[in-house]
Amino acid sequence: MTRQVFFLPSVITHENKEIVLPSEVSHQILRVLRLSRGDVVELRDESGRSWKAEIVRVSKKLVQVALLEEVFYATESPLGVKLFLALARSDRIDLAVRQATELGVKEIILFPSARSSYRLEQPKIQDRILRWDKIAQEAVCQCRRMEVPRIFYKKDLEEVMTFVEGESEDILKIVASEMNGSYGMEIFLSAKVKPDTVAIAVGPEGGWTEEEMAIFESRKWIPVSLGPRILRYETAVVVMLSLCQFLWGDMK
């Protein structure tokens, strides 16, 4: 059986020879997975380090483990990917966050676009960020990444533009758009570009407005088509990220 990985909201050091796991993780180990003394699990901590640990003691509700050794996986893509997601239905965003994490994004930035039929106000925004963080942490454990993507919320497209332009690195900016006039991804093959970082934007269920596309293009985002079929939001995210990891990342 594949070793189960659990995320701990703390930092593990060599001094922590034995650890009592938080009640939520203990519950998962005891009641859901029915593991017991002697079983080996893996713990991923907040700093991105990972440890093999053996269950040494169990009580009714808590599990104590002994750290065995630190483990490392070469699962981080050399490509920096920032994914800009227009707000959409919450189950679609959850799926997009999970799949984008599996596909190696480093940052996910959510924002309301003109046709987003879902809006978020404070304090809901903070709750949602925590929820997306948790989904990303679970996905990191499942796919054995070392880094949890960072999640941000921006209040509109203008703030998104400022956020990207504030980066010192040279970023290739791509907006997925099914509108006429978009390029095919093959333009990047012929242009032989080799970016270190790529920013990708995916629109809401209703698509981008013409005004939004004009803003993207005036700020040097390249409109790219993913073929003649209209893909659902979460499908467009997966296709876009897979193509980028294939062209410039570690999907070889």
Site residues for ligand SAM per CB under 6 A:
176-178, 202-203, 205-208, 225-227, 229-233, 236
Tell me whether residue 19 or residue 202 sits nearer to ligand SAM (CB atom).
202
Integer Rg of the chain from CA: 20
Cβ proximity to ligand SAM, 21 vs 240, nearer residue: 240
Tell me the closest approach of the beta carbon of residue 56 to ligand SAM, in angstroms: 49
Distance CA 67, CA 61 (A): 20
Q: What minimum distance in Å lies between the beta carbon of 81 and ligand SAM?
A: 15
CB of 185 to ligand SAM, least distance (A): 10
Tally of CA atoms within 13 A in the half-sphere of 22 that contains its CB: 9
Using the minimum distance from each CB to ligand SAM, give the nearer residue, 92 or 128.
Answer: 92
Q: In terms of CB distance, is 27 or 115 closer to ligand SAM? A: 115
In the complex with ligand SAM, which residue's Cβ is closer, 17 or 119?
Answer: 119
Give least dist CB 170 to ligand SAM, A. 23
Least distance between ligand SAM and beta carbon 227 (Å) = 5
Q: In what order do the strands lie in the sheet with 107-111?
A: 150-153, 107-111, 80-86, 197-202, 171-176, 222-225, 183-184
- Residue 37 neighbours by CB distance under 10 Å: 11
Residue of minimal Cβ distance to ligand SAM: 203
Q: Shortest approach of ligand SAM to residue 249 CB, angstroms?
A: 19
Q: What is the DSSP string of 8-51?
A: -SS---TT-SEEEPPHHHHHIIIIIS---TT-EEEEE-TTS-EE
The CB-based long-range contact list for 48-53 (8 Å cut-off, 24+ gap) reads 48/146, 48/147, 48/148, 49/11, 49/12, 49/146, 50/5, 50/146, 51/12, 52/3, 53/19
Q: Which residue's CB is nearer to ligand SAM, number 48 or number 206?
A: 206
